[in-house]
Chain A
Amino acid sequence: MNAIVKSKIMKGIIITLLIFACFKSFAQDVEFSKENFKDKKDELKIAKNEMELGDEIMEKEAVFYKNAISHYLIAFKLNPNNALLNFKLGKCYFHSSFRSKCTSFFEKAYQLNPEVDPEILYYLGMGYHLDMQFDKAIQSFNTMITLFKGKDKTGIVDEMKKYIRQCEYAKEKVKNPVRVKIDNVGGDINSQYPDYSPVITADESEMIFTSRRPETTGGGLDPFMNEPFEDMYIADRINNKWGKARNMGTTVNTEGHDSNCGLSADGQKFLIYKDVNHGDVFESVLTGTAWSTPERLNKNINTDGHESSSSYTPDGNTIYFVSDKEGGLGGRDIYTSTKTLKGKWGEAINLGPVINTTEDEEGIFVHPDGKTIYFSSKGHQSMGGYDVFKSIFNDSLKSWSKPENIGYPINTTDEDVFFSVSASGKHAYYSSVRADGFGEKDIYRVTFFGPVKSVILNTEDNLIASHNEPVKEKVKPSRIDIKEAQLTLLKGVILDDKTNKPLEATIEIIDNERNEVIASFTSNSVTGRYLVSMPAGKNYGISVKKENYLFHSENFDLASTAEYQEVQKDIKLKNIAVGQSIVLKNIFFDFNKSTLRKESENEITQLTKLLTDIPSMKIEISGHTDSYGSDSYNKTLSHQRAKSVYDRLIQNGIKADRLTFMGFGEEKPIDTNETDTGRQMNRRTEFKVTAK
């Protein structure tokens, strides 16, 4: 070792010792005493007073701790090197909306005095965990385990081990983030106050959310939280932009807590949480522009326990809800209840151990595909606190898939609850405290980008020997399995054919295979708006009905592989008048035959009912074909098909003198015969009113 190296080492040692000495002097715990603040007597007095005020608040429940922050910060300004003050500030932040700010205070408290509080290591670990400093968090939790080994009577070692598992899991999730874009939905919705729990209609055209704003109905403060009571707000999305949020009004918002839960796919009814009877679920229905007074759901859903979040299935016949009632699997569990034939909510059924854990589940959301649920859980492997999970119901196996953590950055080490996904599966909404927010919790829109796509290669070959120009080809990349929602959203307005006035009509969704009405909706009486969600894999008949109007039918035969689509269809209902005709879109025949297929049953029933309801009505049934085939063949086939419908109506008890039938073959096309779609339109069965 030469002299220069030796001198360098010596120099290094001296510098290290100096730094350590400096650090020690900075890291000394400074008491709020006269000796330490000889020249600042007044400031010391103020600081001590403020600390006392803060301490008084901290004697209350944890939800109040955040109110002590401003007091403690005054004292902190005078003396930032007091271990206990740092610890208390850390605790206050830990229980506030700005939790991750706690870490630096806990860290300093521990540096100043590792024995400042028996819980310091726990809080320090939690702070590091929240702040995503996972290795430091693990180190703190491991130190706790060492300290408590052999002396643990409260299960703290197991708890620390659980946090260590969460940290390890979070490290992996952060390393492999899901590809999303997270945008604040903007100042028309978010405020400087907490805005949270967003729910949307299937087409993302409307949002209801909860907020605690000073202008809350009644203007009261929750005495337990010293914050305004919750009110619900509504906003519309027009031209891809959220409009100004509006308070939903005093019919649904009371002077107490009013928080929204589920919103139906069409936005015509929604579920409300009210802080009564330990927490119950209510329902309000939209009639025109007015929401009805919320009605408490029956005892199959609301018990003496705490019922909180809830969500409708797209057909509106089932709700999923969260309850901590007795008999569950532990903590808060998710249940489901389906309407009985009498229209009452049936017995609640626990979703079982695949979904529910011994810990809490919360924030249930049913996707408009009717088979995917999103919920939050502390019991499934999370990054910390509640994480959002996704599970899909397998209809053939009658079982739920293993819940899948939807990943970072949607899930964080903090509480991630209330996640609402659009029908397309491309967007989601949730609330979070983020640096780019308007204050407190804000509502954010998540855009899913799906898996990373691969670059597509280009090749070319001299495929034609006599040509110099090569033939170009794109190399097909291997398919990426993009998990998109497989459903069709049918939406639009229902209008009077003559006056164009919006109509409140009944929309029945029929499973043509099973000849069963699977859902029934009502269009809005003021706007005529309607929206129905049809998961792929069924032949759907749509029947739109209103008294004194001829019914309108649509057909959607959706293959199980059908991709997500939105179909805009404005429907004009025709008055019952002589000469009016209706295409019966759910009348099906076998190929080149006149035998009615069983999928036509419901349409025949609708027509029979119409004729029964109006005994004076007479109709002509007509068959039509496309231009394929000879004229005579088409005429004969259409005639026989019209007769099949005629025969069936007679079988159903309609008198023959009220019915006529005709086969027009290809004579009366309603669309081009040049395209498949046009030809499909031309192949049809119609009825025309001949007498009223």
Chain B
Amino acid sequence: MNYLFIFFSLIITSVSFAQTDSIVKAKILDDQQEPDRLYNQSIDKYGKNDYEGALIDLNQAITLRATFQEALLQRGIVYYQLNKYSEAVNDFESVNKTAPKQESFYFLGQISEKRNEKTSALSYYNQAIAINKMYSSAYYSKGVLFFEMGDFQQAIQQLDSAILYKPEDVFAYNDRGSAKMSLNLLDEAMVDYTNALKINADFAWLHNNIGSLKRKKGDYKGAIAAYDNAISKKQDYFLAYNNRGTAKHESGDYKGAIADFTKAVEIKSDYAFAFNNRAGSKQKLNDLTGAILDCDKAIQLDPTYGLAYLNRGILKDAQQDYKGACVDWNKAKQLGIDLAVKYLEVCE
């Protein structure tokens, strides 16, 4: 009986000890996993664009675990989204000191671009690619960077790689098409734009770009149809109205062009380009006074708009107001319009 009591007592005691131990162990485990939990929580918040909330979680996670690489990386990304680039750079550089990640280099590249440090950006993208040769986003960003720098050949090469490693990348197809269009490789550009359209036909800008390509090829009817598509996808796409107006102008439909330019300024009342362009169509319809008023408006909206000065000079010249024309061409020259130098040759 005593043995039995002792036996049961021991069992009870041992169970009670075991329970305490597991509770302690569980508590320890729970404490150890808190950073992970916070990290996961931050990911959820990040997904919901709650960057401030995500940042609080990540700060706690990193406080609890100073060497939490994933959290450091993620916090860098959150800082990036919050435009806190210096903090982001600190986190990415911390990651890179211990265990470099393709993403940390990639985002350092993005921040360099934001800071207009293009060479540095290229170097970071290259380091990202060195970690992962199939890192499509880095190739894409490199392609865009070369595009912006006007090196369209290099842009095409990088976008080739982006498409190779991510064949359904509609952005990469579009941008490669744009680079080819910039090199006047119009047929090849059309192939890319068409492929992009096959992947996703919902982007208004893609239809707009196709319109501009067709306009470049002199296919004004096709261009106008493509701009129609762009506008149907995005009703307030003032840029497409401006472009469709230009296509109509170039095809000789000056009244139609004026209607489109007018629509563009109805949507965006400070759209200087559309005022400038409407002046061009009014000139063709011999409404020189109206055209000059449109140039006046374009200049009022953007006093640094050199081309509008050049154009107003052209209109004054057409009105035989040569003195006024020369004043405007001089201003256009000051604003860096090369053509004005040639026009100014007749002014003294």
Contacts and interface: CB of A to CB of B under 8 A. Distances in A.
B249 A457 contact: yes
Given A459-B212, A461-B243, A475 B346 contact: no
A200 B61 CA distance: 88
B324 to A, nearest CB: 12
Contact of B205 (A181, A452, A455, A465): A465
B246 A475 contact: yes
B276 A453 contact: no
Contacts of A462: 205, 208-209, 239
Contacts of B148: 464
B202 to A, nearest CB: 12
B345 A426 contact: yes
A117 to B, nearest CB: 41
B113 to A, nearest CB: 11
Interface residues of A, number: 29
Given A181-B322, A448-B346, A475-B250, A458 B273 contact: yes
B178 A463 contact: yes
B209 A461 contact: yes
Interface stretch (B82-90, B118-126, B308-316): B308-316
A253 B277 CA distance: 60
Given A181-B322, A452-B317, A466 B242 contact: no
Interface string A430-466: 0000000000000000011110111111111111111
A250 to B, nearest CB: 35
Interface in A472-502: 472, 474-475
B314 A470 contact: no
B144 interface: yes
A474 B283 contact: no
A40 to B, nearest CB: 50
A240 interface: yes
B144 A466 contact: yes
A375 B250 CA distance: 40
B144 A467 contact: yes
Contact of B246 (A179, A453, A457, A464): A457
A453 B322 contact: no
Interface centre among A447, A449, A462 (most CB of B within 10 A): A462
A464 B170 contact: no
B291 A455 contact: yes
Contacts, number: 99
A449 B314 contact: no
B103 interface: no
Contacts of B243: 459-461
A455 B280 contact: yes
A464 B175 contact: yes
A452 B249 CA distance: 17
Given A455-B291, A456-B311, A459-B212, A465 B283 contact: no
Contacts of B209: 461-463
Interface in A606-642: none
Given A463-B175, A463-B182, A465-B205, A456 B322 contact: no
Contacts of B279: 455
A465 B175 contact: yes
B193 to A, nearest CB: 11
A426 B148 CA distance: 41
Nearest to A450: B346
Given A240-B348, A448-B346, A465-B203, A459 B174 contact: no
The interface centre, meaning the residue of A181, A453, A459, A461 with most chain B CB atoms within 10 A of its CB, is A461
Contacts of A454: 280, 283-284, 314
A240 B276 CA distance: 34
Interface in B56-106: none
Contacts of B259: none
Contacts of B315: 455
A642 B345 CA distance: 44
A588 B149 CA distance: 39
Interface in A403-453: 426, 447-450, 452-453
Contacts of A467: 144
Contacts of B139: none
A459 B273 contact: yes
A459 B314 contact: no
B129 interface: no
B307 interface: yes
Contacts of A240: 348
Interface of A: 179, 181, 240, 426, 447-450, 452-467, 470-472, 474-475
Which 5 pairs between the two chains have the least Cβ-Cβ distance?
A455-B280, A462-B205, A463-B178, A465-B171, A455-B311
13 contacts: A426-B345, A448-B346, A453-B314, A453-B318, A454-B284, A455-B276, A455-B279, A455-B315, A457-B280, A461-B205, A461-B239, A464-B144, A465-B174
Given A240-B348, A460-B243, 12 more contacts: A454-B284, A455-B314, A456-B339, A458-B276, A460-B239, A460-B273, A461-B205, A462-B208, A462-B209, A463-B175, A463-B182, A465-B175
